Structure 1
Amino acid sequence: MDCSVGTCLFPLHRSKTIHLVRHAQGIHNVEGDKNYKAYLNPEYFDAHLTPLGWQQVDNLRNHVHSSGLINKIDLVITSPLMRTMQTAVGVFGGEGYTDDKTDVLPLMVANAGNSFRGAISSHNCPPIVAVELCREHLGVHPCDRRRSVGEYQFLFPAVDFSLIDSDEDVWWKDNVRETKEELAARGLKFLNWLWTRKEKEIAIVTHSGFLFHTLTAFGNDCHPLVKKEISQHRAQFYSVL
């Protein structure tokens, strides 16, 4: 649709509302924001959240619940990395887990990823599905390499990993960095896949690089001011229709 002039109208029944969430602060972000080369540090492999990151999770969780948004979301999609899954289950998961409900698996076991948090329940919350396509910029940076699905299934028992084809991470290469164009193409592939889902209101927990390069390539059929707006680096949470 050519939206260069005037206002665009999209039929509601052909639209989805997506809530885009950039993961909370990870241990790699603390030094990486000061010195980009810090992202090469192998100690940041599959980086987990910092204490400040968990505070950000709690703040967003309070907003999602107080606004009533938690009751509208049909599905949560998360990148299969520690920091995004911690953010996803912390924000959208159920209340504190108790093991007296033996038929309800926890979304996250206690202290997963050095969280010093209790287990998180999967009761009364939207389903959470891990999808490889919305991972961060692939290659070279150890913080963007994932663990095996088997390890994650132990730490996040009620997260659905069925859409991930390989147990081990075959996407990340230690000597090849995904180009910005390749990342943008992967992002558009993810958005096209999203349209095949039946759910109408979806939260996506992903990464700043993925969001920036995807949304920069997306929206060429929108008004230039809209494209400029969606292509900016963002805070932790925003919604797009």
Structure 2
Amino acid sequence: MDDTVSVTNLYPLHRCKTIHLVRHAQGFHNVAGEKEHSAYMSEEFFDAKLTDLGWQQVDNLRKHVHSSGIDQKVELVIVSPLLRTLQTAVGVFGGGYTNETEDLLMVENALDSNRAAISSLDCPPFLAVELCRERLGVHPCDRRRSINEYRPVFPGIDFSQIESDADIMWKPDIREKNEDVGIRGMQFLNWLWTRKEREIAVVTHSGLLINTMTAFANDCHPSMKIEISKPFKNCELRSLVMIDRSGIQ
């Protein structure tokens, strides 16, 4: 008999949630920032939209989500209220491109995207949440537009969780500390746990993801820690299970 101590655990299914974490597809700020980091300071990339390659990444992830059956399981899509995440979310988890003018997640050519409209039919509801935004401050690419600008072009997304029309979280002269991003990320996950849905997709940003994921898997084999906390590529999806081990909630 093997004397190796087992670290396998069992948990009741009703104490678990499946979350599909997605980093947004390639934006114009990513291209410029990889060439010269100072480009992130440019107003040219305010609330940057997706590149053509970014939209290809969206289409490819959409195919994977459908071929794997994830699209049939997701009950809710949570999205950061920035253009690149909104575009990624509706492209991957929405009802698909359409020529119709009603029941839309995104209208045609939304904010000069040069893309067809995307349907809100045959897909889960979409909810915009500020807690899962990118690291805040200084970089114009991380400053959002007013919610009143987003609503007409993303009519199928629920923005009711966002209290301020204007972006009052982003500061021009104060860059959010990495540890504060991680704290905000944990607040977001704790809020996510209170949702009734058992399988949720979250479309967010690399800074939020890496600063939050580093808090996990410290009691696991190092390989699992590396797998969870390594940086996300553009339009990468990772599926994880959340567990309430306390029994409190």
1:131-150 matches, within 5 Å, as: 131-150=129-148
Structure 1 position 34 matched with structure 2 position 32: no
Aligned to 1:57: 58
1:169-188 matches, within 5 Å, as: 169-188=167-186
Deviations 1:11-44 (A, max 9, x none): 2211111001000000000010122111001100
1:59-78 matches, within 5 Å, as: 59-78=60-79
Q: How many residues align?
A: 235
Residue 188 of structure 1 contacts residue 218 of structure 1 at CA under 8 Å; is this kept in 2?
no
1:70-219 matches, within 5 Å, as: 70-99=71-100, 102=102, 104=103, 106-219=104-217
What secondary structure does 1:107 align onto? strand
Distance 1:219 1:183 in 2: 18
Aligned to 1:240: 240
- How far apart are residue 7 of structure 1 and its match? 2.6
Distance 2:170 2:232 in 1: 25
- How far apart are residue 69 of structure 1 and its match? 1.3
Residue 99 of structure 2 contacts residue 116 of structure 2 at CA under 8 Å; is this kept in 1?
no
TM-score between both structures, scaled by the size of structure 1: 0.93
RMSD of the alignment, in Å?
1.6
What secondary structure does 1:162 align onto? coil
- How far apart are residue 67 of structure 1 and its match? 1.7
Q: Which amino acid aligns with 1:81?
A: L
Distance 1:17 1:208 in 2: 20
Gaps of 5+ in 2: 242-249
Aligned to 1:46: 47
- How far apart are residue 112 of structure 1 and its match? 1.1
Distance 1:233 1:84 in 2: 17
Residue 100 of structure 2 contacts residue 117 of structure 2 at CA under 8 Å; is this kept in 1?
no
Gaps of 5+ in 1: none
Distance 1:9 1:221 in 2: 16
What secondary structure does 2:98 align onto? coil
Distance 2:191 2:220 in 1: 20
Residue 5 of structure 1 contacts residue 223 of structure 1 at CA under 8 Å; is this kept in 2?
no
Deviations 1:183-227 (A, max 9, x none): 000000000000000001100000111100000123445454422
Describe the shift of the 1:109–1:136 C-alpha distance in structure 2 as closer, same or farther (beyond 3 A). same
